[in-house]
Structure 1
Amino acid sequence: MTMVTRTFDLLDNYRKYFLAKTDAFVKKENGNWITYSTAQYIEYSNLISYALLENGFTKGARVITISNNRPEWNFVDMALAQIGAVHVPLYPTISAKSYDFIIRHCEPLAIFISDSILYEKIAPLLEEHPSVQFIYSFNKIKSVAHWSNLLDTGTKAENKFKHELVDIKKNIKPEDLLTIIYTSGTTGNPKGVMLSHQNFMSNVLASAAHLILDSSHKALSFLPINHVYERMVNYQYQYKGISIYYAESMETIGDNLRELKPHGFATVPRLLEKVYDKIMAKGKSLSFPKKSIFLWAVNLGQKYELNGANGWWYEFKLKIARKLIFIKWQEALGGNIQFMCSGGAALQVRLERLFWAAGIPVQEGYGLTETSPIIAANQNAYPDVRFGTVGPVLEGVEVKIAEDGEILARGPNVMIGYYKNPELTKEVIDSEGWFHTGDIGCWEDNKFLKITDRKKEIFKTSGGIYIAPQVIENLLKESPFIDQNIVIGESKRFPSVIISPDFEFLKEYCKRKKIAFDNPEQIIRNERIQKRIWTEVEKTNVNLDRPKKIKISRLVADVWTPETGELSPTLKLKRRVLKEKYDQIIQEIYSKQ
């Protein structure tokens, strides 16, 4: 492979090894898959670079993109990297208030947007932000310059800037600023994480060394590409010459998987939980003999151990279960999955076992935006994988556990710092270069890193008992009745929980039990349902020490999503928002105690 120390070196790598590739990037438009070749990727990236230079863009200029996953995002990403401009990619789902803050904070010269809906959200803000001199769109929007105009400008300016671009690239160092990624934040304003070429590429090369896919394979991309996790995986695919297919939307993932039959994808636990819930609902609706075989296979899968540790008789039964039941699980994901990585939150161990038992190895990893992102990751095969952990530390990265249990990381993947916030940078990166993650963890067998909770999320009851809410919340989410939940009780006598039920599952359950289901507000007041969900809470309580047991639960009729504000774009709980939203319920829980 060529020396890849800056992101745009990936273009030279493509030119050298994968120039004949006809489907480097693929998107679906109006029902048809549209392919972009390696040659087009290189050409378009260069032409946009020439156009930006012609328009006066220089090293360090900030450029925002607000877009869904699509090939054009990559063309702009590479074009910016090549001229030393700073890419600031944002979620298409955040509020106008967040856009306003970020535009004011980073003062971009240009904004690329994907569609008219986003433009309508952004347009009213622009009068307040004189730094923005250019607006481009990926879809055609009236009165907005289309991105293809840059290809025309670049073609005319090619002779003028061709040699200059070569010189500019030579002077861009691996440690130079590549991007500012604003973390969604569960409290307060977003923080701008400054990442260099080296930050990303050290992570890409170390993780790509273990990636079993190659240029004959294709991957489906659906997690937001502006997020550090999917972006790094995106670069990883490019480095290995893997064809990248972009899902139409989060809603079409299932259809896209069955249609494309990809070999790999990156995901978050919540999506795997949804896949599992759908499979289980389908299995439980089967006729008696088929349902018995289905539940036998699931029960067997939940006991799965790596490396044949359960013995030959278990492996023999598993072979039968795979042939009869689990092959359908594989087909639901397209039938070709060889690589599936999960990050962003803790993956339930029972799901990990089940997917591996089904012949679909899922690799859980761990990291943060500030670490580009991977710190540790399980691999595709024994002995470099252990259930319930986030795997061995990535090569080139150091990890140590502080006295209070906090995970500290150091290495070429650790960010430059927070944009315009040196004080906050000093708070998280100490004088020896250790980044303080805010996560609590420990080692298993001195090899596998295990995350036990978020340092900032641990709270103390009035009786002095420490509660790790995430641990309890993950246990509760194993119930098909529970979609999301938040454990509360800081400075109170005992912990309680507020539950957003899985209303789709409840509808099916009510149908089976002949319980009227009119709407969520009505069903959460139904005593039978309240008692049934409390039974699920009690199942979790069995595994908790007495002072940590949940004493009271309350059901709410709201479905928590990033769009409605209770979850971050990476589906983490926004605890402050939730506590404010349900302040009255919380007061009621503790007022009589």
Structure 2
Amino acid sequence: MNLAEAIIRKNVEKHSVKSAIGFKKKEVWKELSWKKFSEMIFKTANALKNAGIQENDKVAIYSDNSAEWMIFDLASLSIGAITVPIYSTNNAEQAEYIINDSGAKAVLVGDQAQYDACLEFLLKEDNHLQTIIVSKKAVWIKKENNSFYLEDFIAKTSPKTEICKKEHEDVATLIYTSGTTGTPKGVMLTHGNFIKAFDAHFEFFKFKNFEEELSLAFLPLSHVFERSWSLLCLYGGARVYFLEDPKNIAKALGEVKPTMMCAVPRFFQKIYAGVNDMAAGGSPLKKKIFNWALEVGKQTAEFRKNENLLPLGLKLKESIADMLVFSKIKERMGGRLWFLPCGGASLSPEVTRFFESVGIHVTVGYGLTETTATLTLFPLTRFEHGTSGKPLPGVEIRIGENDEIQAKGNGIMKGYYNRPEDTKAVFTEDGWFKTGDAGKIDDKGNLIITDRIKDLMKTSNGKYIAPQQIENLLTNNNYIQQIVLIAEGRQFVSALIVPNFEFLDDYIKKNNIPFTNWEELVKKEEIIHLYKDKISELEHDLSDFEKVKKFTLMPSEFDINTGEITPTLKVKRNVVLKKYADIIEKMY
């Protein structure tokens, strides 16, 4: 079945007037009903057909999150075209590579820079790109160069169309890997990959009244995690609101009040660190109340995790803890969030325990673009903190050579587009996908991620360092925003550390430390000593060879635009190590 048909038909038939999606227009959140949403999809589908887009043609989306993004995606799928998402943060050169490699014939863009870049591609000879569609009228376009505003592009088309029939093995999308190592490759995911993965999620969780849920999409739709989650929500009849600028997440949470939302570890770490710092800075009485509430929360969470009924006394304590402490934390997140899938990197068990104590279920998962996101994840009950949960129905996991996690199942990609050798290299002879991550399976069947095999470091003394676990430990506080460990071939571990400048600003004001800019501040002895003390405190339980012996405080954050981090905030280790090689050498 066509993925678009699986999402649209049943929901329009079941509840055509119910809201499907939400978006912000002129500072006001608006909604589209399933009937109106489907009409917009079909009008766009017919316009694409009129523009010469045929079955199996590639159609790119180079834009921030928006209602138009999802409409364009489902419209392309409806006519049997293959959607090619491009991160809105990609520069012109990166976008051109993806458009050329995929052979995209049309592209939806969201802002002026994206339009200007695509217009330049379109005007080049021997180029596949034929049409540029622009989602916003605020962008200036050259209409004589096959450029159209989406509103005009679909103005005279019919709101009805025949959805192109598709088999499970037919390709639905090419998602280019973010390229933490090497050249980005187009991952071919099929209609069946998505539909079977969605069905497996619903079988796994057995949600009640899923149609009443509301998800806020703030991670990039170009990434497999947010796109799969948002499509899953629509597949199940829930509402999805689209946030264009992720920097506005705090404000949007209060306005939209979602019940569900997927997020990356840094989102949870920042909230965890912020709440703990606020509690630490409170009066002795407030600290006592906070610690008491947290202990009550841990007890109740444990009962619920193991599906045991709460004793009456504990239930009463929980109500008081919620009123005094937890309700305030939840209110900062909109007040209604209860289910948050987390992926992209590992998350420390103390963070997941904290949120579970508050009454918010963070369902930690593990997967890749090549596996349609999820391979394993926390169930609603009987999960184990510190693991990545259990395999979805239809997914098999095994541990291969070098402790590599290998997988089979519904979500495994068809292969890399036009790269048969690369495809062959990531599959074993007996057909298992090689993830490139190291891990183990505990006696209860939970997957535990050790680290990226390529990231494992060996010191000159022969000791192995798994950087992710240590980096996670050190970023679970408000002092450190980003960190990159260095140890490969070195006699000890060092680190490049990006301070949390917002938090540091408060610290220097309280301590009257004069400075003119961040570059000057991070070199001051009192700041360096502050970080030495904090790191020493955080590393207390690590083995001596794992501890950071030297570090350099960086004057600015690692940035998406400079290629130092991916759009999902993962550090591109090889880029950072190369760029700051001189600074690293000085530490040795």
Q: TM-score, normalised by structure 2?
A: 0.92
Moved more, 581-590 or 143-152: 143-152
Tell me how far apart the structure 2 counterparts of residues 411 and 45 of structure 1 sit (CA, whole Å).
31
How many Å separate the matches in 2 of 1:301 and 1:191? 45
User: 1 CA distance for matches of 2:438 and 2:319?
Assistant: 38
Q: 1:206: which partner in 2?
A: 200
* Native 8 Å contact 1:183 1:369 kept in 2: yes
Residue 509 to residue 93, structure 1, CA distance change in 2 (3 Å): same
Question: Partner residue of 2:259?
Answer: 263
Say whether 1:98 aligns with 2:76. Answer: no
1:44-443 maps to which residues of 2 (within 5 A)? 44-128=40-124, 130-140=127-137, 141-143=139-141, 144-155=147-158, 162=161, 165=162, 169-170=164-165, 172-209=166-203, 210=205, 211-212=207-208, 214-294=210-290, 297=293, 306-307=302-303, 319-380=319-380, 382-383=381-382, 385-443=383-441
1:477 is aligned to 475
Task: Find out whether 1:539 has 2:537 as its counterpart.
Answer: yes
8 Å Cα contact 1:342-1:363 kept in structure 2: yes
Partner of 2:12: 15
1:197–1:25: structure 2 CA closer, same or farther, 3 Å change rule?
Answer: same
Supply the RMSD in Å over aligned alpha carbons: 2.3
Q: Is the 8 A contact 1:484 1:560 kept in 2?
A: yes
Judge conservation of contact 2:277–2:478 (CA < 8 Å) in 1: no
Shift of the 571–45 alpha-carbon distance from structure 1 to 2, 3 Å rule, reads: same
For residues 349 and 267 of structure 1, the distance between their equivalents in structure 2, rounded to whole angstroms, comes to 16
How big is the shift at 1:295? Answer: 5.2
Alpha carbons 1:523, 1:529 under 8 Å: kept: yes
User: Secondary structure at 1:135's aligned position in 2?
Assistant: strand
Q: CA offsets, 1:390-432, max 9 Å, x none? A: 1110000111111421100001210010111110101102232
Q: Is the 8 A contact 1:405 1:442 kept in 2?
A: yes
SS of 1:404's partner is: helix
1:356: Cα distance to partner? 0.7
Greater shift after overlay, 34-43 or 394-403?
A: 34-43
Relative to structure 2, which stretch is displaced further, 274-283 or 307-316? 307-316
For residues 564 and 359 of structure 1, what CA distance do their matches in structure 2 show?
A: 38
- Inter-partner Cα distance in structure 2 for 1:152 and 1:457: 51
Shift of residue 52, structure 1, vs aligned partner: 2.1
Q: Secondary structure at the match of 1:235?
A: helix
- Secondary structure (helix, strand or coil) at the match of 1:442 reads strand
Helix, strand or coil: the match of 2:157? helix
Deviates more, 1:127-136 or 1:363-372: 127-136
Q: Is the alpha carbon distance of 1:57 and 1:427 closer, same or farther for their aligned partners in structure 2, counting shifts above 3 Å?
A: same
Per-residue CA distance 1:338-368 (angstroms, 9 max, x = gap): 2111111111221111111111111111100
Q: Deviations over 1:326-349 (max 9, x none)?
A: 110111111111211111111122
Kept in 2: contact 1:98–1:189 (CA 8 A): no
* Partner SS, residue 193 of structure 1: strand
Match of 1:521 in 2: 519
Whether the 8 Å CA contact 1:191–1:419 is kept in 2: the answer is: yes
**Equivalent of residue 450 in structure 2, options 449, 452, 461:** 452
CA displacement at 1:34 relative to structure 2: 2.2
> Structure 1: which amino acid aligns with 2:238?
I
- The 3 A distance-change label for structure 1 pair 507 and 304 is farther
CA contact (8 A) 1:366 1:390 kept: yes
What stretches of structure 2 of length at least 5 have no aligned partner? 142-146
Q: How many residues align?
A: 575
Distance across 2 between alignment mates of 1:189 and 1:506: 37
Compute the TM-score of the two structures, normalised by the length of structure 1.
Answer: 0.92
Encode CA deviations 1:26-74: one digit per residue, 9 max, x unaligned. Answer: 1001112222111122222222222222222212211111122222222
Counterpart in the other structure of 1:501: 499
Give the 3-state SS of the residue equivalent to 2:158 in structure 1: helix
Q: Distance in 1 between matches of 2:91 and 2:67?
A: 25
Task: Give the distance between the partners of 2:391 and 2:255, measured in 1 at CA.
Answer: 35
AA in 2 matched with 1:323: M
The structural deviation recorded for 1:556 is 1.3
Preserved CA contact (<8 Å) 2:107 2:133: yes
- Structure 1 residues 304 and 554: CA distance shift in structure 2, 3 A: farther
Note the C-alpha offset of 1:545: 2.4
Partner of 1:548: 546
Bigger mean CA deviation after superposition, 334-343 or 50-59: 50-59
Deviation of 1:298 (Å): 5.0
Q: Tell me how far apart the structure 2 counterparts of residues 371 and 197 of structure 1 sit (CA, whole Å).
A: 13
